[in-house]
Structure 1
Amino acid sequence: MAARASLIEPDGGKLVELVVPEMERAGRKTEAEAMPKVRIGRVDLEWVHVVSEGWASPLRGFMREDQYLQSLHFNSLRMEDGSVVNMSLPIVLAIGDDDKERVGGARDVALVGPNGDLVAILRRIEIYKHNKEERIARTWGTTAPGLPYVEEVITSAGNWLIGGDLEVIEPIKYNDGLDHYRLSPCELRKEFDKRKADAVFAFQLRNPVHNGHALLMNDTRRRLLDMGYQNPILLLHPLGGFTKADDVPLDVRMEQHSKVLEDGILDPETTIVSIFPSPMHYAGPTEVQWHAKARINAGANFYIVGRDPAGMGHPTEKRDLYDPDHGKKVLSMAPGLEKLNILPFKVAAYDMKDKKMAFFDPSRAKDFLFISGTKMRTFARNGENPPDGFMCPGGWNVLVNYYKSLQADETEQLSAALSV
């Protein structure tokens, strides 16, 4: 019980870090200039970021075919010593026919970012067929049109996958005013030790934090104290990569999260807010394994999971795409996640009798109001206030101002169109 949480071993026993040391970068750039070049997109760059910092340890680059097949069919990778690590999402780089021809028989290639800058070298490459239908069907359990990640990344991607070991020339930065929140697994582990954490519990979300979320996180800390831990630390870890168009943007979410701490809804002394750089797939029980596995590598030994994690509505039918309970059930059985403690959370809703967010009590179900993320966004968009006690006022104002700015932009665009 007293072991420091940051001492939980990363998958493979050692945290992978693939950024070239500063004194070697000029030489790597010169070497990369002479190589065949492959241009990568924004989401590809997010995956370079993820792999370079060790979130996907022990993976050292984009998957070669044997790793891809293990991930796609078994949601895991078998190590040389026979042990198994979880790897539920294929982390791959697609290229087109022209790229494949240009690379030819080269052993190494240089990756060029969306802005034209040299990002990385991919060593000892392997090129193999990109069967998109199989990848989509096995990852999402459907090939229905309208899957956000599929439409953004896979549909237009090339017919080949290129795998190899990454050497990232410089740390990935976005220069969006949020880079100081993007702590690597190594940096997080140091911070946990600095705070003398003896347990770390991670909570991922891609929505603003309401008081029901805060109730859950504060209750989890209480439970860990009751179990005998002396200083449990919360890792509030919003997803920072690709999200679908109707999700609240990252900068707005981060501003809202900061207000939650300012208003004392969460304790800044026992909370670390950091951005998880992964893109979002919305692949339900398959994807939630990736979310949990990555937090092992960051040093967390407890992971909070709720209803329908990483899920979404079916893209063409009026129903959930996944069974809401399957995510937490899968996490409790998934190969390679045995050392992570899974904490299923109780459902919180607005208690109309006590006028606050509370854990749902089935014996008085009529007293509770469920406010979904969609309903919350509708309130904010329409300038309506949610019930008192649903969200801290500072955090709510951030959302209202964001949707006001959207409406102002839409009005301005309409006026410009009418004046043409």
Structure 2
Amino acid sequence: MISKPHGGKLVKKLLSSREKEKILEEQNEFLKIKINYGNAIDIENIAYGVYSPLKGFLNNEDFQSVLDCMRLSNDIPWTIPIVLDLKNPSFKEGDEILLYYNDLPIARMCVEDIYTYNKKEFAQKIFKTTDLEHPGVSKIYKMEDYLVGGEIELLNELPNPFGRYTLRPEETRDLFKDRGWKRIVAFQTRNVPHRGHEYIQKVALTFVDGLFINPVLGKKKKGDYKDEVIIKAYDVLFKHYYPKNSAILATVRYEMRYAGPREAIHHAIMRKNFGCTHFIVGRDHAGVGDYYGPYEAWDLFKEFPDLGITPMFIYEAFYCKKCGEMVNAKICPHDGEYHIKISGTKLREMIINKEQPPEYMMRPEVYEVIKNFKNPFVE
């Protein structure tokens, strides 16, 4: 059965055309507050229910509960604070404000709470480190000193160059029903696909009705693949190697936190809201550097028996020269001397050096797509 939304109801914070028109006509009567790109994307995900049950940015009580307990104050599992940071707010609790990205009005917000927070505590509890080399920690220390909580209503989305690949939770749920899928497994990615990814996805697909591949688009760290590269690489893989009635490719705009195990839970909740019943938890899921153990996220899922989506723990795939195919440690009896791991770092090096990876590492069609980009990586 398609999963129920997290918290029981799919949030929808969209204004009618008439309401939107009225607010925009009266926008000069509102206090205008500038927000950053990440805030604007979070608003979009709140408005369309990707972050259900959130209806806005976290208030102080929920923020502290997420830090301390990995749950909202009403005990619903939630592991990543979705917050709006501002410098010296010139408004008070109960005010209505308009949030702008550049000159585009993004949302109306009813201010519920204005509070300060401890950046060191925020970083330590979410990322398990205060090392400024960690991109998530670095971002927290650059945040403003106040957090503002309250419900939002969407006025405008940011321009979306990949609109034809974008599906909202309401749409994916309808699509799954139309296809007769009751058990759907989601795969989150911020990379182009290699054979290890393909192996894991297809192993998972054998146990369910459909596969939902959901690449993350948006701001990423230096060295990650650009959005267009990821999309085109998956397009060609779908064209040649996936059954048309068993897999769906759709994107979601989201700013990676690189919070490892906590973010793995968050990613699962997002896909639960899309209607998925299962979620593939990868090796070092949402990790960066050596801050988290390779399977630390697997352990954290055990603390959330009430999550409402089933994690699928599939061992890392590698090529075995003796088996002559992609396998994993659970099914391959051969010694490590026969194993060739598919390293994302090694693949990047080969791509930079214009060297085609062997077919057991990456499909030739995928490499052809990547090599047509002058620089496929974020700078």
**In the alignment, which residue of structure 1 is the partner of 2:174?**
190
- CA deviations over 1:206-260 (Å, ceiling 9, x no partner): 1111122112211212233xxxxxxx11000111233211100111101101010
Report if aligned partners of 2:212, 2:250 keep a CA contact under 8 Å in 1: yes
SS at match of 1:204: strand
**Count of aligned pairs:** 377
Counterpart AA for 1:90:
P
Does 1:166 find its partner at 2:185? no
Deviation track 1:181-207 (CA, whole Å, cap 9, x = no partner) reads 121111110111111112110111111
CA distance in 2 between counterparts of 1:190 and 1:387 reads 39
For residues 48 and 335 of structure 1, the distance between their equivalents in structure 2, rounded to whole angstroms, comes to: 28
> Structure 2 matches for 1:334-345, cutoff 5 A?
334=304, 336-337=306-307, 339-345=308-314
User: Are residues 1:33 and 2:28 paired?
Assistant: yes
Cα distance, 1:354 vs. partner?
5.3
Matched residues in 1 for 2:145 and 2:223: separation?
29
AA partner of residue 177 (structure 2): D
Q: For 2:300, give the aligned amino acid.
A: V
After TM superposition, the score normalised by the length of structure 1 is 0.85
Query: Which has the larger Rg?
Result: 1
Distance in 1, Cα, partners of 2:286 & 2:49: 21
Matched letter for residue 290 of structure 1: H
Aligned in 2, Cα 1:88/1:406: closer, same or farther, shift over 3 Å? closer
Matched, 1:24 2:19: yes
Query: What's the offset of the Cα at 1:362?
Result: 4.8
Gaps of 5+ in 1: 225-231, 314-319, 411-420
Q: How does 1:137-156 map to 2 (within 5 A)?
A: 137-151=124-138, 153-156=139-142
Asked if the contact 1:85/1:335 (under 8 Å) is kept, the reply is no
CA distance in 1, matches of 2:219, 2:119: 19
Whole-Å separation in 2 of the counterparts to 1:16 and 1:104: 26
Distance change in 2, residues 1:10/1:105 (3 Å): closer
1:158 to 1:22, Cα distance in 2 relative to 1, 3 A = same
Aligned equivalents of 2:218, 2:71: Cα separation in 1 = 22
**Equivalence map 1:72-111=2 (5 Å):** 72-79=67-74, 84-97=75-88, 100=89, 102-104=90-92, 107-111=95-99
CA RMSD in angstroms comes to 2.0
Q: CA deviation at 1:296?
A: 1.1
Greater share of residues in helix: 1
Structure 2 equivalent of residue 223 of structure 1 = 207
CA-to-partner distance for each residue in 1:160-193, whole Å, 9 max, x for gaps? 00111101113x24232x1121211111101111
Deviation at 1:272, TM superposition (A): 0.9
- Cα offsets for 1:90-111 (capped at 9, x unmatched): 00000012xx1x3256611110
| 1:75 to partner: Cα distance | 0.8
> Residue 66 of structure 2 aligns to a residue in which SS?
helix
Q: Distance in 2 between matches of 1:362 and 1:28?
A: 65
